[in-house]
Amino acid sequence: MFTTSWCGYCRRLRSQLDREGVPFTEIDIEANPEHVDFVERVNDGNRTVPTVLFPDGSAATNPSLAEVRARLSA
């Protein structure tokens, strides 16, 4: 999950994933700018977070917990 420290939507999704025991790796794109290109590429040039990269290589921008769970179980 690509995030920033100031993003409220990132904090919300992170806490939901933690609460539900869904494992994830968090990458703050401000602290790790080498990942900005990926976030911009999958978001039509925007640095929109949270952007979640799934094991199958697909990505979702600001997904709900339900969407994350559904895509991980597919």
pLDDT tens-digit readout, 1-50? 999 999 999 999 999 999 999 999 999 999 999 999 999 999 999 999 99
Which pLDDT score is estimated for 41?
97
Q: What is the pLDDT of residue 54?
A: 97
Distance CA 46, CA 56 (A): 22
Domains, in order of start, for the chain = 2-73 (3.40.30.10)
Q: Give the Cα separation of 41 and 51 in Å (integer).
A: 11
For residue 74, pLDDT beyond 90: no
pLDDT tens, residue by residue, 45-67: 999 999 999 999 999 999 999 99
Q: If you search the block for the tokens 């979640």, which residue do you land on? A: 52
